[in-house]
Amino acid sequence: MKTLLILRHAKSSWKHTGLADHDRPLNKRGKRDAPRMGELLRKEDLLPDLILSSSAKRARTTGELFSETSGYEGEFHVNRDLYAHYAGVYLDMLSDLGEDYERVMVIGHNPGLEELVEELTGDWIRMPTAALAVVELPIQDWSDLSEETQGELVNFWQPKELA
């Protein structure tokens, strides 16, 4: 059994209209919500073995704030391919991991993350910024992950629901 943590980047700023989408930073709410998700996973004892993040500034910063607050000190890989908004990109990258990691987090963007949850569980959920879905997968090796894998959505949190 493998566990996939799917985290949408925290709320980004649209203040600097001249910035490319890839370079947008987090806004005040995003800077508050990303650490809250880190605290949550530390309390739930759900820290990942590996984080795979989109290269977009808002996703990288979400991961950095998450890591600082949660105490995560593992591998943090940034990949421009995860800036794409398609579930297949996430599946391809995850299926290349092998068996070494039990719990992996991806940090990325919609609609790809919503599609990924739906593809792996059959459940469509709306993933607002900094939302986190926990999916258990009936696989022993990440290379067994495919569009046909039927996992289970075992938890879902949004920052606004946290005390």
Cα(42)–Cα(124) distance, integer angstroms: 26
Nearest residue to 113 via CA among 96, 91, 136: 91
**Alpha-carbon span 159 to 29, nearest angstrom:** 10
Q: What is the mean pLDDT of residues 48-61?
A: 97
Given this model, what pLDDT does residue 113 score? 96
Distance CA 75, CA 131 (A): 21
Stretch 62-87: mean pLDDT: 93
Report pLDDT digits (tens) over 91-102. Answer: 999 999 988 999
Q: Of all helices (H) and strands (E), which one includes residue 114?
A: helix 112-121
116, 123, 120: which is closest to 52 by C-alpha?
Answer: 116
Q: What is the pTM of this model?
A: 0.95
Domain boundaries, the chain: 2-161
The span from the CA of 115 to the CA of 96, in Å, is 19
Mean pLDDT, the chain, whole residue set: 94
Cβ atoms within 10 Å of 13's Cβ, excluding its own: 16
* 152: pLDDT strictly greater than 80: yes
The model's pLDDT over 27-45, given as tens digits with 9 standing for 90+, comes to: 999 999 999 999 999 999 9
Q: Which two tokens stand for residue 15?
A: 């203040």
With a cut of 70, say whether residue 163 has pLDDT above it. Answer: no
- Above 80 in pLDDT, residue 86? yes
Q: What class does CATH assign to 2-161?
A: alpha beta
Burial class for 147, CB neighbours closer than 10 Å (0-12, 13-18, 19+): exposed
Q: Report pLDDT for 62.
A: 97
Q: Which of 95, 134, 98, 142 is nearest to 113 (CA)?
A: 134
